[in-house]
Protein backbone atom coordinates (compact mmCIF):
# COMPACT_ATOMS: atom_id res chain seq x y z
CA UNK A 1 0.00 0.00 0.00
CA UNK A 2 1.41 3.35 -1.07
CA UNK A 3 2.09 5.86 1.70
CA UNK A 4 3.30 9.40 1.09
CA UNK A 5 5.08 11.47 3.73
CA UNK A 6 6.04 15.12 3.64
CA UNK A 7 8.68 16.74 5.80
CA UNK A 8 8.64 19.29 7.35
CA UNK A 9 4.98 19.81 8.26
CA UNK A 10 5.57 23.57 8.50
CA UNK A 11 8.31 25.90 7.38
CA UNK A 12 8.89 29.62 7.89
CA UNK A 13 11.57 31.43 5.89
CA UNK A 14 12.54 35.02 5.12
CA UNK A 15 11.78 36.39 1.69
CA UNK A 16 14.41 35.66 -0.95
CA UNK A 17 15.55 32.37 0.51
CA UNK A 18 15.83 29.24 -1.62
CA UNK A 19 14.07 26.26 -0.07
CA UNK A 20 13.40 22.56 -0.53
CA UNK A 21 10.27 20.65 0.34
CA UNK A 22 10.56 16.91 0.73
CA UNK A 23 8.20 14.09 -0.20
CA UNK A 24 8.83 10.37 0.29
CA UNK A 25 6.81 7.39 -0.83
CA UNK A 26 6.92 3.73 0.14
CA UNK A 27 6.13 1.99 -3.17
CA UNK A 28 8.68 2.58 -5.93
CA UNK A 29 6.12 1.33 -8.51
CA UNK A 30 4.90 4.87 -8.89
CA UNK A 31 3.49 6.12 -12.18
CA UNK A 32 3.80 9.81 -11.60
CA UNK A 33 4.31 12.35 -8.83
CA UNK A 34 2.34 15.56 -8.77
CA UNK A 35 2.96 18.69 -6.68
CA UNK A 36 0.07 20.96 -5.76
CA UNK A 37 -0.35 24.25 -3.98
CA UNK A 38 -3.37 25.00 -1.78
CA UNK A 39 -4.27 28.39 -0.34
CA UNK A 40 -6.44 28.40 2.82
CA UNK A 41 -10.03 27.35 2.07
CA UNK A 42 -9.32 27.05 -1.65
CA UNK A 43 -8.93 24.26 -4.18
CA UNK A 44 -5.65 22.75 -5.32
CA UNK A 45 -3.49 24.28 -8.02
CA UNK A 46 -1.34 21.86 -9.98
CA UNK A 47 2.29 22.99 -10.01
CA UNK A 48 4.29 20.20 -11.63
CA UNK A 49 3.79 16.59 -12.70
CA UNK A 50 6.73 14.22 -13.11
CA UNK A 51 6.15 11.04 -15.07
CA UNK A 52 7.86 7.89 -13.79
CA UNK A 53 10.26 7.98 -16.75
CA UNK A 54 11.35 11.52 -15.94
CA UNK A 55 13.71 12.78 -13.26
CA UNK A 56 12.67 16.39 -12.99
CA UNK A 57 10.36 19.14 -14.19
CA UNK A 58 10.77 22.91 -14.06
CA UNK A 59 8.30 25.77 -14.14
CA UNK A 60 9.58 29.28 -13.47
CA UNK A 61 11.10 29.37 -9.97
CA UNK A 62 9.95 25.83 -9.23
CA UNK A 63 11.87 22.64 -9.87
CA UNK A 64 10.64 19.19 -8.88
CA UNK A 65 12.73 16.03 -8.95
CA UNK A 66 11.83 12.37 -8.68
CA UNK A 67 14.08 9.52 -7.56
CA UNK A 68 12.10 6.30 -7.70
CA UNK A 69 14.94 4.15 -6.39
CA UNK A 70 15.11 6.09 -3.12
CA UNK A 71 11.38 6.81 -2.98
CA UNK A 72 11.83 10.57 -2.85
CA UNK A 73 10.72 13.72 -4.56
CA UNK A 74 11.75 17.27 -3.80
CA UNK A 75 10.23 20.62 -4.71
CA UNK A 76 12.79 23.40 -4.95
CA UNK A 77 11.54 26.99 -4.75
CA UNK A 78 14.05 29.64 -5.76
CA UNK A 79 14.03 33.19 -4.41
CA UNK A 80 10.92 32.70 -2.29
CA UNK A 81 8.29 35.46 -2.12
CA UNK A 82 5.48 36.20 0.37
CA UNK A 83 3.03 35.15 -2.35
CA UNK A 84 4.50 31.65 -2.18
CA UNK A 85 2.96 31.21 1.28
CA UNK A 86 0.57 28.26 1.06
CA UNK A 87 0.33 24.54 1.77
CA UNK A 88 2.22 22.37 -0.68
CA UNK A 89 0.98 18.84 -1.28
CA UNK A 90 2.67 16.03 -3.15
CA UNK A 91 0.67 13.11 -4.49
CA UNK A 92 1.78 9.86 -6.06
CA UNK A 93 -0.17 7.82 -8.58
CA UNK A 94 0.21 4.04 -8.54
CA UNK A 95 -1.00 1.34 -10.88
CA UNK A 96 -4.66 2.08 -10.14
CA UNK A 97 -4.19 5.71 -11.11
CA UNK A 98 -5.46 6.80 -7.71
CA UNK A 99 -3.65 9.80 -6.22
CA UNK A 100 -2.23 9.24 -2.74
CA UNK A 101 -1.55 12.55 -1.00
CA UNK A 102 1.00 13.46 1.63
CA UNK A 103 -0.07 15.50 4.66
CA UNK A 104 1.38 18.68 3.16
CA UNK A 105 3.97 21.28 4.13
CA UNK A 106 2.64 24.67 5.19
CA UNK A 107 5.05 27.36 4.02
CA UNK A 108 5.20 30.91 5.33
CA UNK A 109 7.49 33.38 3.59
CA UNK A 110 8.03 36.50 5.68
CA UNK A 111 8.62 39.88 4.02
CA UNK B 1 -8.25 27.17 -20.21
CA UNK B 2 -7.66 24.83 -17.30
CA UNK B 3 -10.70 25.78 -15.26
CA UNK B 4 -12.93 23.50 -13.28
CA UNK B 5 -15.96 25.25 -11.80
CA UNK B 6 -17.99 24.15 -8.80
CA UNK B 7 -21.31 25.35 -7.44
CA UNK B 8 -22.32 26.36 -4.88
CA UNK B 9 -19.27 27.80 -3.11
CA UNK B 10 -20.89 27.28 0.28
CA UNK B 11 -23.75 25.04 1.37
CA UNK B 12 -25.45 24.65 4.74
CA UNK B 13 -27.92 21.81 5.08
CA UNK B 14 -29.80 19.92 7.72
CA UNK B 15 -29.52 16.19 8.22
CA UNK B 16 -32.87 15.58 6.51
CA UNK B 17 -32.23 17.75 3.45
CA UNK B 18 -31.44 16.66 -0.07
CA UNK B 19 -28.96 18.79 -1.99
CA UNK B 20 -26.60 18.50 -4.93
CA UNK B 21 -23.10 19.71 -5.68
CA UNK B 22 -22.21 20.50 -9.27
CA UNK B 23 -18.93 20.44 -11.16
CA UNK B 24 -18.23 21.45 -14.74
CA UNK B 25 -15.20 21.46 -17.04
CA UNK B 26 -14.85 22.36 -20.72
CA UNK B 27 -11.34 21.08 -21.32
CA UNK B 28 -12.47 17.92 -23.08
CA UNK B 29 -11.27 15.84 -20.14
CA UNK B 30 -12.70 12.34 -19.93
CA UNK B 31 -11.99 11.57 -16.26
CA UNK B 32 -13.64 13.40 -13.36
CA UNK B 33 -13.22 12.98 -9.63
CA UNK B 34 -14.81 13.84 -6.29
CA UNK B 35 -12.60 14.34 -3.25
CA UNK B 36 -13.45 15.15 0.36
CA UNK B 37 -11.09 17.27 2.42
CA UNK B 38 -11.37 17.82 6.16
CA UNK B 39 -9.60 20.74 7.84
CA UNK B 40 -5.79 20.46 7.88
CA UNK B 41 -5.93 17.08 6.12
CA UNK B 42 -5.11 16.12 2.54
CA UNK B 43 -7.91 15.35 0.06
CA UNK B 44 -9.36 11.85 0.10
CA UNK B 45 -10.66 10.31 -3.09
CA UNK B 46 -14.37 9.44 -3.12
CA UNK B 47 -15.33 8.63 -6.72
CA UNK B 48 -13.80 8.48 -10.18
CA UNK B 49 -15.70 8.66 -13.46
CA UNK B 50 -13.86 7.61 -16.59
CA UNK B 51 -15.57 8.17 -19.92
CA UNK B 52 -18.82 8.87 -18.04
CA UNK B 53 -18.76 5.56 -16.21
CA UNK B 54 -18.09 5.11 -12.51
CA UNK B 55 -14.71 3.40 -12.30
CA UNK B 56 -13.75 3.87 -8.63
CA UNK B 57 -15.93 4.09 -5.54
CA UNK B 58 -13.80 4.31 -2.42
CA UNK B 59 -16.40 2.62 -0.21
CA UNK B 60 -18.27 5.87 0.25
CA UNK B 61 -21.56 5.72 2.23
CA UNK B 62 -24.69 5.58 0.08
CA UNK B 63 -25.84 8.96 1.39
CA UNK B 64 -23.40 10.29 -1.24
CA UNK B 65 -24.56 9.52 -4.77
CA UNK B 66 -22.48 10.61 -7.77
CA UNK B 67 -23.84 11.21 -11.24
CA UNK B 68 -22.12 12.03 -14.54
CA UNK B 69 -24.81 13.29 -16.98
CA UNK B 70 -22.25 13.95 -19.71
CA UNK B 71 -18.51 14.28 -20.21
CA UNK B 72 -18.47 17.89 -18.95
CA UNK B 73 -20.65 17.60 -15.86
CA UNK B 74 -20.34 15.81 -12.56
CA UNK B 75 -22.87 15.95 -9.75
CA UNK B 76 -22.78 14.74 -6.17
CA UNK B 77 -26.21 14.17 -4.66
CA UNK B 78 -26.42 14.43 -0.89
CA UNK B 79 -29.11 12.95 1.33
CA UNK B 80 -29.41 12.34 5.07
CA UNK B 81 -25.89 13.54 5.79
CA UNK B 82 -24.28 13.60 9.20
CA UNK B 83 -22.44 16.51 10.87
CA UNK B 84 -19.15 14.65 10.37
CA UNK B 85 -19.70 14.96 6.61
CA UNK B 86 -18.99 18.68 6.89
CA UNK B 87 -15.92 19.32 4.76
CA UNK B 88 -14.58 20.90 1.58
CA UNK B 89 -15.70 18.88 -1.42
CA UNK B 90 -13.36 19.12 -4.37
CA UNK B 91 -13.96 18.18 -7.96
CA UNK B 92 -11.11 17.46 -10.37
CA UNK B 93 -10.68 16.39 -13.97
CA UNK B 94 -7.91 14.95 -16.10
CA UNK B 95 -7.29 14.34 -19.79
CA UNK B 96 -7.83 10.61 -19.81
CA UNK B 97 -6.91 8.36 -16.97
CA UNK B 98 -5.73 9.10 -13.47
CA UNK B 99 -2.09 9.22 -14.57
CA UNK B 100 -2.60 12.59 -16.22
CA UNK B 101 -2.39 15.93 -14.46
CA UNK B 102 -5.48 16.47 -12.36
CA UNK B 103 -6.99 19.96 -12.34
CA UNK B 104 -9.02 20.91 -9.31
CA UNK B 105 -11.97 23.21 -8.83
CA UNK B 106 -12.24 25.69 -5.95
CA UNK B 107 -14.43 23.38 -3.92
CA UNK B 108 -17.77 23.56 -2.12
CA UNK B 109 -17.63 24.21 1.62
CA UNK B 110 -20.37 22.00 3.10
CA UNK B 111 -21.71 22.39 6.61
CA UNK B 112 -24.20 19.84 7.95
CA UNK B 113 -26.20 20.97 10.96
Q: For residue A27, what pLDDT is reported? A: 82
A98·B92 Cβ contact <8 A:
no
Q: For residue B49, what pLDDT is reported? A: 92
Chain B closest CA to A28's CA: distance in Å?
A: 15
Q: Which of A63-72, A92-101, B2-11 has the lowest mean pLDDT?
A: A92-101
Best A38, A44, A45, A64 member to test B by mutation, with max B CBs in 10 Å, is A44
Query: What is the pLDDT averaged over residues A19-38?
Result: 91
Best B3, B42, B105 member to test A by mutation, with max A CBs in 10 Å, is B42
pLDDT band at B9 (very low <50, low <70, confident <90, very high): very high
What digits encode the pLDDT tens for the residues A33-66? 999 999 998 899 999 999 888 999 999 999 999 9
pLDDT band at B87 (very low <50, low <70, confident <90, very high): very high
Does residue A30 surpass a pLDDT of 70? yes
From chain A, the residues in CB contact with B103 under 8 A are 46
CA distance B30 to B37: 23
pLDDT band at B30 (very low <50, low <70, confident <90, very high): very high
Distance from CA of residue A72 to its chain's centroid? 10
pLDDT band at B62 (very low <50, low <70, confident <90, very high): very high
Chain A closest CA to B98's CA: distance in Å?
A: 4
Strands B44-50, A4-7: pairing kind: unpaired
**Dihedral angle, C-alpha B112, B60, A41, B43, nearest 10 °:** 160
Does residue A95 surpass a pLDDT of 80? no
Q: Say if CB B89 and CB A21 are below 8 A apart.
A: no
What digits encode the pLDDT tens for the residues B71-83? 999 999 999 999 9
Does residue B1 surpass a pLDDT of 70? no
Nearest to A98 among B98, B104, B105 (CB): B98
Share of chain A above pLDDT 70, in %: 97
Amino acid sequence: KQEVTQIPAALSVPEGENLVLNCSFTDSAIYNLQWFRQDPGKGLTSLLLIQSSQREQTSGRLNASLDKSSGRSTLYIAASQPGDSATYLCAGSGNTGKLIFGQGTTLQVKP
Amino acid sequence: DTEVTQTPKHLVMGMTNKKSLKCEQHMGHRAMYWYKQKAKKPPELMFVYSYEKLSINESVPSRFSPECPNSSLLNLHLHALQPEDSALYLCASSQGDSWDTQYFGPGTRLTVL
